[in-house]
């Protein structure tokens, strides 16, 4: 098959992708389906509870919780672009995914994942202003600025994801049915199936990874250096503990998100077995979105107390 024929296949939409199965055993397939479905339901319920709690409690209508509710909403959208299709492909025979559907999934995965990373940097800046400039906090972090920052995160993610998706899926693919060694359409395994020189696309992916992962992480580190200096100057131990508690949850999420992302995108394409990418992807597909509401609930007294109060009010209203 010549490259021109392959390009014709891509443009005509006859090229399809299939995901590599986790296992061919029906019993294990059923167990995996039930396990991943349970995790997905927990992710939806946990992050929805965070959004609902913040929405109904006026005490939580502050920039920090505004960003937290947006983060939870992103986690719901992010996992919904990946997990339902994954669940559909676990049971029974492998089901082909159309060329356009694979491109769409890569686009939304890149957009939502990048927005998530940018938003974590914005949340670090919010903590920097709150701790290092408390008297000016309300003047700096206005509702208008917070909305603009969230919109900016999404806009920048769209700006990076759309051209890259177009670049990848305008490359020639060899064959009608292509097997992706993954459970969703991620850039590295899709580029592996291209039957042409991918050095330009790999270079663009590396640059985008720097912009999405390394740059926000560097900004977060700078913010927390100033935060740490300010916290150490607080005279009372109780004050230092209270200031640190507002940052510890965010730091935990940052380490999970950027750690797994860096191991996937900041290494040469052939430096580790492809299966390792799938295992790492399971972490930022399931573990991080699941832990976010747990971390922020268990380590944040305001959210925990507001959630308890909301649940008690709901239980009281149901008993009447």
Q: pLDDT value at position 318? A: 59
Q: Is there a domain that residue 316 lies in?
A: no
Region 271-276: mean pLDDT is 58
Neighbours of 125 (CB within 10 A): 18
Q: Is there a domain that residue 51 lies in?
A: yes
How many residues belong to the chain?
Answer: 320
In angstroms, the CA 46 to CA 48 distance is 5
Domain count, the chain: 1
Neighbours of 299 (CB within 10 A): 15
Q: Is there a domain that residue 168 lies in?
A: yes
Lowest mean pLDDT segment, chosen from 79-83, 118-122, 161-165, 274-278:
274-278
Q: Is the pLDDT reported for residue 6 higher than 50? A: no
- State the pTM of this model: 0.86
Q: What angle do CA 53, 56, 60 make, to 5 degrees?
A: 70
Residue 122: band (very low, low, confident or very high) from pLDDT cuts 50, 70, 90: very high
**Tens of pLDDT, residues 51-108:** 988 888 888 889 988 999 999 999 999 999 999 999 988 887 778 899 999 999 999 9
**Number of H-type helices and E-type strands within the chain:** 14, 3
Task: Domain of residue 10: give its range.
Answer: 3-307
Q: What angle do CA 85, 48, 289 make, to 5 degrees?
A: 55
β-strand 177-180 against 16-19: which pairing, if any?
A: parallel
Q: Is there a domain that residue 8 lies in?
A: yes
β-strand 97-98 against 177-180: which pairing, if any?
A: unpaired
Contact present, 30 and 84 (Cβ < 8 Å): no
Q: Is there a domain that residue 7 lies in?
A: yes
Interacting residues of 23 by C-beta distance below 8 A, sequence separation 6+: 29, 32
Q: pLDDT value at position 255? A: 83
Helices 215-232 and 99-132, packing angle to 10 deg: 20
Tell me how far CA of residue 210 lies from CA of 29, 71, 157, 192, in angstroms.
37, 21, 13, 21
Q: Is there a domain that residue 315 lies in?
A: no
Nearest of 166, 174, 171, 193 to residue 182 by alpha carbon: 193
Q: Is there a domain that residue 312 lies in?
A: no
Q: pLDDT value at position 2? A: 40
Residue 174: band (very low, low, confident or very high) from pLDDT cuts 50, 70, 90: confident
Q: Is there a domain that residue 115 lies in?
A: yes
CATH number of the structural domain spanning residue 85: 1.20.1070.10
Longest Cα separation, the chain: 73
Q: What Rg value do the Cα atoms of the chain yield, rounded?
A: 22
């Amino acid at each position: 098959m010549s490259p021109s024929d392959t390009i014709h296949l891509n443009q005509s939409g006859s090229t399809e992708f299939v995901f590599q199965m986790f296992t061919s055993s029906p019993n294990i397939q059923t167990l995996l389906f039930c396990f991943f479905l349970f995790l997905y339901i927990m992710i939806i319920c946990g992050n929805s509870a965070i959004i609902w709690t913040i929405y109904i409690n006026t005490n939580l209508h502050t920039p920090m919780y505004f960003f937290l509710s947006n983060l939870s909403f992103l986690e719901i959208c992010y996992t919904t672009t990946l997990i339902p299709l994954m669940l559909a492909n676990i049971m029974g025979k492998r089901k082909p995914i159309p060329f356009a559907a694979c491109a769409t999934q890569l686009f939304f995965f890149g957009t939502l994942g990048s927005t998530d990373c940018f938003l974590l940097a914005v949340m670090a800046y919010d903590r920097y202003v709150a701790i290092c400039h408390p008297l000016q906090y309300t003047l700096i972090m206005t509702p208008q600025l917070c909305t603009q920052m969230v919109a900016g995160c999404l806009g920048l993610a769209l700006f990076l994801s759309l051209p890259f998706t177009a670049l990848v899926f305008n490359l020639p693919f060899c064959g009608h049915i292509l097997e992706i060694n993954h459970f969703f359409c991620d850039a590295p395994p899709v580029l592996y199936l291209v039957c042409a020189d991918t050095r330009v696309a790999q270079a663009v992916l590396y640059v985008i990874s720097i912009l999405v992962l390394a740059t926000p992480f560097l900004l977060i580190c700078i913010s927390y250096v100033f935060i740490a200096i300010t916290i150490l100057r607080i005279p009372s131990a109780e004050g230092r503990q209270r200031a640190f508690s507002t940052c510890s949850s965010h730091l935990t999420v940052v380490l999970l998100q950027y750690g797994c992302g860096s191991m996937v995108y900041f290494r040469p394409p052939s430096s580790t077995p492809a299966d390792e990418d799938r295992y790492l992807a399971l972490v930022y597909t399931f573990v991080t979105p699941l832990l976010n509401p747990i971390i922020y609930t268990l380590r944040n007294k305001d959210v925990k107390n507001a959630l308890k109060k909301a649940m008690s009010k709901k239980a009281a209203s149901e008993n009447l």
